[in-house]
Amino acid sequence: MNWEQVRKLFLEWFLSEWEEIEKDFSEKTDKLIERLREQNYQIDRQTEELLRKLAEELYHKITALITHVVNAVNKTAKLQKDALVAQVAQEIINHRWNDGLKLSERFWDFSQQAIARLKNTIVEGIRYDNGVKALMYKLQYTIEALEEQEFAVVLKEQLPKWLKEFEQSTKGLLVNAESRQAWEKIKRKVEKYVEKRSREGTYYAGRQLLKEIEEALREGKMELVDKAVKWWVYDKQLYRLKTIAWTETAHAYLKATVELTKDEEEIVGYQWRLSRSHPRADICDVYANVDYGLGRGVHPKNKLPRLPAHPHCMCYLVPVVRRKGMEEREKPIIPESALESWAPKWLKKYAEENGLSLADLFNFEEGRFLRKREIGLS
């Protein structure tokens, strides 16, 4: 059986499925923003309901993905263990991670956070409105109090300062580069108006200027709030969702591979394959390089480390068939090279001084180096 092929199919399938989830999420976020705009940025029950439903749909999509992955391993590897498939999928869906959360709770958490973010953004929008009022009041007062000639000079000097103050008070809306760009656009527009009207320098020009600035700021608000909502609800959450989707499906893939094959007589163990996206050496380097006498990184069935090794772990397992001449060791040999790059400095020093290897100072079962107090250093 070609397990590399199964893995490749799994990856392809995940990516195409994810693309669809992403597209759907993008469309739904746009709809949400449109709705908010129509409602003059009031969050009502229906808006909250919309977000909750979105989370629910995503939950169902990801559970379907998990079931599909388990099924696919079964089918592609021609294992025909259909009864086991449902059970394995269910275990993944109900799995409680180290942070104590199950998949469904993660999505509940997602919808709560999205609602909270939305509320924050709307509060910023209200602050913006108040800022516009204050700014307009200052401007009006100034214009009315000034003579014609001064009008031009004072506005050119004062307005940038006021705008800066205004910008400060609505910082929460300028959360990302895109919002800041939109704000710069608004500012440029205001500057242009000032330039034009100050040349006219009449009371009428002053009134006209007020109107124009207010309009520019009002129009700009929509853009700023929309961009902030999109940023919080879509950009920020999508990354989180992808992590959830990936972690859960990768877990499903690992678990399905093991659960569906572990009773096969001919399977002696599982080879730990490092994912290419591992940014730096960690416990997975050890797992991928241990030597139990079954080949590099091959763990005996009954000695498989906890899966996955750490959150966001993208490593995978490949079942290994028993071959002649394989002799299983009781304890694994850990190559020093798998430990060197991530061992703490003080430990390396300690090993050198005491003529020990790093493997001597490594707790393999728990996947970590010994602590200072464990070797009597503190």
The identity of residue 203, as a single letter, is: Y
Could you tell me which of 131, 142, 133 has the C-alpha nearest to residue 194? 142
The Cα–Cα gap between 119 and 123 comes to 6
Q: Which is nearer to Zn ion, 163 or 313 (CB)?
A: 313
315: contact with Zn ion by CB under 5 A? yes
Q: How far is the CB of 297 from Zn ion (least distance, A)?
A: 12
Least Cβ distance, residue 46 to Zn ion (angstroms)? 43
CA 203 to chain centre: 54
Stretch that binds Zn ion, among 110-118, 280-288, 290-298, 344-352 (CB under 5 A): 280-288
* Structure-block tokens of residue 366: 């728990």
Site stretch for Zn ion (CB under 5 A), options 44-52, 259-267, 309-317, 364-372? 309-317
What letter would DSSP give residue 355? T
Q: Which residues pair with 318 in a beta bridge?
A: 271
The verdict on 284 binding Zn ion (CB under 5 A) reads yes
The per-residue b/e assignment along 138-167, b for 16 or more CB within 10 angstroms, e otherwise, is bbeebbeebeeeebbebbeeebeebbeebb
CA gap 125, 50 in Å, rounded:
20
**One residue of 313, 317, 318, 347 binding Zn ion per CB under 5 A:** 313
Choose the stretch contacting Zn ion; rule: CB under 5 A; options: 139-147, 210-218, 282-290, 297-305: 282-290
Q: Tell me: does residue 244 bind Zn ion (CB under 5 A).
A: no
| Residue whose C-beta lies closest to Zn ion | 284
Which residues in 59-98 contact Zn ion (CB under 5 A)? none
Minimum distance, C-beta of residue 61 to Zn ion, in the bound complex (Å): 25
Cβ at position 288, least distance to Zn ion in Å:
8
Residue range at the interface with Zn ion (CB under 5 A); choices 52-60, 77-85, 200-208, 278-286: 278-286
Tell me the C-alpha distance between 270 and 144, whole Å.
82
Residues of this chain that bind Zn ion (CB under 5 A) = 284, 313, 315
